[in-house]
Amino acid sequence: MSEVPLEARPLRRLYRYGLAYSGRLLVGLLFGIIGGGSVFGLLKNLGDVTDSAFDFATGSLRSLLVTSVGLIVFFTLRGIGHYFSIYFINWVGFKVVEDLRRECFGKLQKLQLSFYSRHSSGELISRVTNDTTQVQHAVSGVVADIAQQPFALIAALGYMLYTDWVLAVLSLVVFPICIAPVVIFGRKVRKYSKQSQEHLSDLSSVLQENVSGVRVVKAFGMEVYEEEKFNRENRKVFGRLIKIVLARNVNQPLMEIVSALGIVSVLVYVYLHRMTYGEFISFAAALALMYHPAKMLGKVHMEIQKAMGSAERIFMLLDEPVEVTEPTNGVGLDEPVRELRFENVSFSYGDGPVLNQIDLRIESGEKVALVGSSGSGKSTLASLVPRFYDPTHGRVTLNGIDLKAFSFQGLRTQIALVTQDTFLFNDSIANNIAYGQADVDPDRIEDAARRANAHEFILEMSEGYQTLVGERGGRLSGGQRQRLAIARAIYRDAPILILDEATSALDNESERLVQSAINEMMKGRTSIVIAHRLSTIQHADRILVLKEGRIVEQGTHDALLAQSGVYRYLYDLQFANTTRM
Ligand code: ADP
Ligand code: MG
């Protein structure tokens, strides 16, 4: 492993994607050989045509015609070979990009939430779009060149050796001189491209954050600060791009100058050795025809370098370990929920422990409330149930079966979740309520909306249930969004209900209305309710008080009040607040 140079590994892996389409690659290669190889016949006929045309004394019209037809045939072959080679190889290139994008997106669906808290959305979007495009250049551009240019180069060289080997060898000396700068500047281009891609993704992050956080930016008067932050990244991108231009474009003039030197030398040689017109013309053409393949092959190196940074980033994403994995033969739950159980569960996000030895048994139909100060681990505890995270120690079971044994689908259809930050898709209200359900039943949607106290405001909107909610539900108020999220949970009709501060964005009046909907929805269901306002959970069957990731108290509202512990303290705090208001 260790003797493989670092850059070779993503490259090899990348071309393995291309090899999946080896049939088309082969056809592309064959056409490349035809297109490239035809250069030899083309040059030979060019020389002969020229000689026949200029040899006024002995040349026959017949040989002129024959060689002319030959010339046209070889040009045609070259065109056809070129065209189909490009077509087939680009086909593979675009297909590889499609595959990579599909894999990236599939991976993003599998990755656990902790991955998303480590990476910005701008960065992830850039990987799936920009980086894959970079890679596509490497696969189609580079492979197309490799399938064609070497043969054109060999054919041109072969022809030169065939016509005048001394002159050919002399010409060969020029070639390495052409290659030298390509190698040197190629390295620089690679370095700068990698940096520019990184800066570009930073720039996207700043932009993305700024746009989605526009309210906060304005409210805190941070426009100038944000602009400076953006401009700084923007300048960095410019700096890198311009360095790439400097390094990359120095190649062409250098090669052209060297080519000019070559042609001049050939002319001197022609003078000394008395070449025929045909020999000279075809030799010069061979030199000219060599230039393009050589240039392209020179570029191959750079294109690969440029794509390698992108490929590395893509493979890093694809190799990201999936911590929360779905079992291969995951089961579903084909019986009613009997109990949900936390068995000595501890959890950490990576730093300190967030949940400590939680033992908890929730029976079917039980309504359990979690209270505790902010950061005590309530949301974390609730997020272990749909397996957003897995416990670091201990296990969570449903009807005695470890949650890890369920298929995601099997587990998650048992659960309806409403959180504080509700996410709505830029789709109609009806589709947002029915999100994730196979059947979209307008009557049930309306019923769910009525029960979530959302029906009235939906009817007031321009197109009722078909109104588009705008990106992230931007056209709705926080309370409206939350009522839609509750309607979505009602529509889902799952046996386990998790409400994480589900009514926190509502005003008192709507909360009272929605609360009755929630109470009704909870009937007969196993529920975990996290509420900031203790008044909403007073009637829970059991209240658990969390403190620093431990359950420190539990019991009914009355029992806990009587204990004069943490719950009593939290209750008095809120009670004092409400009387003051
Ligand atoms: P609560 O819902 O009770 O307010 P949380 O469960 O959200 O508390 O958070 C418990 C602790 O875990 C807090 O200290 C919080 O900072 C930390 N935490 C929450 N989410 C993450 C995360 N994605 N990555 C790292 N730490 C987190
Ligand atoms: Mg929380």
How far is the C-alpha of 432 from the C-alpha of 473, rounded, in Å?
10
In ligand 1, which atom is closest to the CA atom of 117? 23
Q: Report the SS3 class of residue 455.
A: helix
pLDDT computed for residue 502 by the predictor: 83
Contact 52, 67 (CB under 8 A): yes
pLDDT of residue 212: 86
Tokens encoding 216: 């906060």
Q: pLDDT class for 214, splitting at 50, 70, 90?
A: confident
Residue of the nearest CA to atom 21 in ligand 1?
349
Pull the structure tokens for residue 179: 């290659």
Specify the pLDDT at position 370. Answer: 93
C-alpha distances in Å from residue 228, one per residue of 210, 211, 238, 485: 12, 15, 15, 37
Q: Are 42 and 67 in contact (CB under 8 A)?
A: no
Residue nearest ligand 1's atom 11 by CA: 375
Residues 6+ apart with CB under 8 A from 428: 463, 465, 466, 467, 468, 469
Residues 6 or more apart in contact with residue 230 via CB below 8 angstroms: 203, 206, 207, 210
The Cα 149–Cα 155 span in angstroms is: 10
Q: How much distance in Å is there from the Cα of 375 to the middle of ligand 2?
A: 7
pLDDT for the residue numbered 250 = 80
All domains of the chain in start order, with CATH = 16-318 (1.20.1560.10), 420-493 (3.40.50.300)
Query: How many angstroms separate the alpha carbon of residue 479 from the centre of ligand 1?
Result: 24
Please tell me if the CB atom of residue 372 comes closer than 6 angstroms to any atom of ligand 1.
yes
Among 4-8, 71-75, 241-245, 419-423, which stretch is predicted with the lowest mean pLDDT?
Answer: 4-8
Instruction: Classify residue 58 by burial, with Cβ atoms within 10 Å: 0-12, 13-18, 19+.
Output: exposed
367-371 and 542-547 as β-strands: parallel, antiparallel, unpaired?
parallel
Residue-averaged pLDDT of the chain:
85
Residue 323, classed as helix, strand or coil, is coil
Q: Specify the residue with its C-alpha closest to ligand 1, atom 12.
A: 354
For 315, the token pair is: 């493979």
CA–CA distance from 379 to each of 127, 399, 498 (Å)? Answer: 30, 22, 10
State what percent of residues in the chain have pLDDT above 90: 30
Across residues 367-388, what is the average pLDDT? 92
- What pLDDT is attached to residue 577? 59
Q: Determine which residue's CA is closest to atom 5 belonging to ligand 1.
A: 377
Q: Which residues surround ligand 2, an ion (CB under 5 A)?
A: 379
DSSP class of residue 413? T
Cα diameter, the chain: 124
- Predicted local distance difference test score (pLDDT) of residue 5: 47
Check pocket membership of 380 for ligand 1, CB cut-off 6 A. Answer: yes
Per-residue pLDDT, 428? 87
Task: Determine the average pLDDT of the residues in 32-54.
Answer: 90
Q: Nearest-5° angle of CA 472, CA 476, CA 478?
A: 85
**Residue whose CA lies nearest to ligand 1 atom number 18:** 349
Cα separation, 414 vs 337, in Å, equals 8
Q: Is the pLDDT of residue 220 over 50?
A: yes
Q: Which of 118, 351, 354 to mutate to test the pocket of ligand 1 (most atoms within 8 A of CB)?
A: 354
Tell me how far apart the alpha carbons of residues 150 and 317 are, in angstroms, rounded to a whole number: 34
Q: Does the C-beta of 354 come closer than 6 Å to ligand 1?
A: yes
User: What are phi and psi for residue 530, nearest 5 degrees?
Assistant: -110, 125
Q: Rounded mean pLDDT of 524-537?
A: 87
Task: Please name the residues in contact with 508: beta carbons below 8 A apart, sequence gap of 6 or more.
Answer: none
Query: What are the phi and psi torsion angles at 450 (to 5°)?
Result: -60, -45
Q: Is 377's C-beta closer than 6 angstroms to any atom of ligand 1? A: yes
Over residues 50-71, mean pLDDT: 83
- Range name among 19-33, 153-167, 198-212, 464-478 with the lowest pLDDT average: 464-478
Q: Supply angle C-alpha 264, 267, 273, rounded to 5.
A: 145
Is residue 175 very low, low, confident or very high in pLDDT (cuts 50, 70, 90)? low
Question: Ligand 1, from 117, 323, 379: best to mutate by most atoms within 8 Å of Cβ?
Answer: 379
What's the one-letter identity of residue 333? L
Which ligand is in closest contact with the Cα of 389?
A: 1
Contact between 487 and 469 under an 8 Å Cβ cutoff? The reply is no
Residue 375 CA: which ligand is closest? 1
Task: Count Cβ atoms within 10 A of the Cβ of residue 548 and give its class: 0-12 exposed, 13-18 middle, 19 or more buried.
Answer: middle
Q: Dump pLDDT digits (tens) for 325-350.
A: 888 888 888 888 899 999 999 999 88
Please report which confidence band the pLDDT of residue 361 belongs to, taking 50, 70 and 90 as the band edges: very high
Structure confidence by residue, pLDDT tens digits, 250-284: 877 877 777 677 778 778 888 888 888 888 888 88
Q: What does the alpha-carbon distance between residue 546 and residue 372 come to, in Å, rounded to a whole number?
A: 5
Q: Ligand 1: distance of its center to the CA of 210 in Å?
A: 24
CA distance 493 to 78: 66
Q: Determine the distance separating the centroid of ligand 2 and the alpha carbon of 225, expressed in angstroms.
A: 30
Q: Which residues contact 104 (CB under 8 A, 6 or more apart)?
A: 127, 128, 132, 314, 317, 318
Tell me which ligand sits closest to the C-alpha of residue 547: 1
Length of the chain: 581
In this prediction, residue 1 carries a pLDDT of 37
For residue 461, the SS3 value is: coil
Element (H, E) at 530: strand 526-530
